[in-house]
Structure 1
Amino acid sequence: MTGWIILSIICVMLSPLVWMLPSRRQSTRMALRLEARRLGLGMQLAREEWPHWLLREPPGSCAQYHCPRRSAEPGQWQYWQTEPGKWVNRWREPCADERVMAHLQGLPGDVYKVEVDARMLSLYWGERGDAQVLQHINEAMKALARL
């Protein structure tokens, strides 16, 4: 009986340590982020003001993957994915640039936004997927950064 009491007390004392272990989802996301780092992509959690007209509400704090832009052409654009494969600008006009659209079409449905400025390409992603999805995103980002 005394052994059971001591074992119970030890279990009660150690149980808070179990709460500190990351969940499976957190471990998966961390593995994706480390793999993105190995591929040369930067990542940060960013707060974003999403347009009110998006059909599904993206999270308030979203993973922003970014890479430097290597194009000599100056340009700045933003496209949001309203439905899988449907990309629109802030005025809800479909993407008219075929070169850009060819790369945007293949992105997963949980990529919410892609934006480009003079120096940087950023992609806001819900991080659902595995290393193959990340590899596909990396290829699309590198191709878009050269446009």
Structure 2
Amino acid sequence: MSPFWWFVLAAILVLSPMSMLKPSPRQKRLVMLREKARHLGIRVTLTSQQLDPGLKLEGAAYRWLRPADAPAMPGYLCLLRCEEGRQRGALWTDGWERVRGAPELLTEAQRQLLDHFLTLLPADAHAVEWGSATLSFWWHERGDTGLLEVLHPVVQAMLAEPVRPVPRPNLSNRLAGGS
């Protein structure tokens, strides 16, 4: 074998590991998607969350934070996409079931916005959480940046919607010895 071919072989052996450092098309798309999310103020987390002993949320959670001046929702609501042959909670709407929280937490306007939001989610979205500080959806990131541009104004409207007032116990009766 001539020295030229030895040199070519050595160059291939040296340079081939560097080709593995190049991001795949999916990785490039995820970078663009997460950058768009960051630009819109959406927090992306990749940690799993254990809801119950047999129920764990996995994938990427895209979280919108409630604006500081917006009223906080007085509770927590968790919806999961229905799976055939497996029921984990009460049916919420077509294709979604409620595993945590009470429907009474939401006003009618919030319920309509949430139902609309659920219709916009991609097929790989499998959970939605709505709490006092955030609204999140869990998915496997198979969409594109256009999806976030569609969801963002809907979520902003959901988070800005007035909440149902929480009844507060009358403490003056308790302090005065009443029941």
- Normalised by the length of structure 1, the TM-score is 0.79
Moved over 3 A (4+): 49-54, 96-99
Deviation of the 1:16 alpha carbon: 0.9
SS in 1 for 2:114: helix
Distance 1:13-1:46 versus aligned 2 partners, 3 A rule = same
- CA deviations 1:47-96 (Å, max 9, x no partner) are 13477999xxx9x741111111244242321111226x5121017x99x9
Q: Does the aligned pair in 1 maintain the 2:117–2:151 contact within 8 Å? A: no
CA distance in 1, matches of 2:51, 2:77: 15
SS in 1 for 2:16: helix
Equivalent in the alignment of 1:75: 75
CA distance in 1, matches of 2:147, 2:65: 20
Equivalent in the alignment of 1:118: 132
What amino acid is the match of 1:82? C
**Structure 2 regions of 5+ residues with no counterpart?**
84-93, 162-179
Alignment pair present for 1:64 and 2:65: no
Instruction: Name the stretch that deviates more: 131-140 or 105-114.
Output: 131-140
Deviation of the 1:123 alpha carbon: 1.4
Q: Does the aligned pair in 2 maintain the 1:48–1:62 contact within 8 Å? A: no
Aligned length: 141
Equivalent in the alignment of 1:35: 36
SS in 1 for 2:120: coil
> 1:1-147 to 2 correspondence within 5 Å?
1-49=2-50, 61-70=58-67, 71-72=70-71, 73-82=73-82, 86-90=95-99, 97-147=111-161
SS in 2 for 1:100: helix
What amino acid is the match of 1:129? G
Q: Does the aligned pair in 2 maintain the 1:36–1:42 contact within 8 Å? A: yes
Q: Does the aligned pair in 2 maintain the 1:35–1:131 contact within 8 Å? A: yes
CA distance in 2, matches of 1:109, 1:51: 24
**Structure 1 regions of 5+ residues with no counterpart?**
none
SS in 2 for 1:123: strand
CA distance in 2, matches of 1:47, 1:53: 13
CA distance in 2, matches of 1:145, 1:125: 20
CA distance in 1, matches of 2:60, 2:119: 20
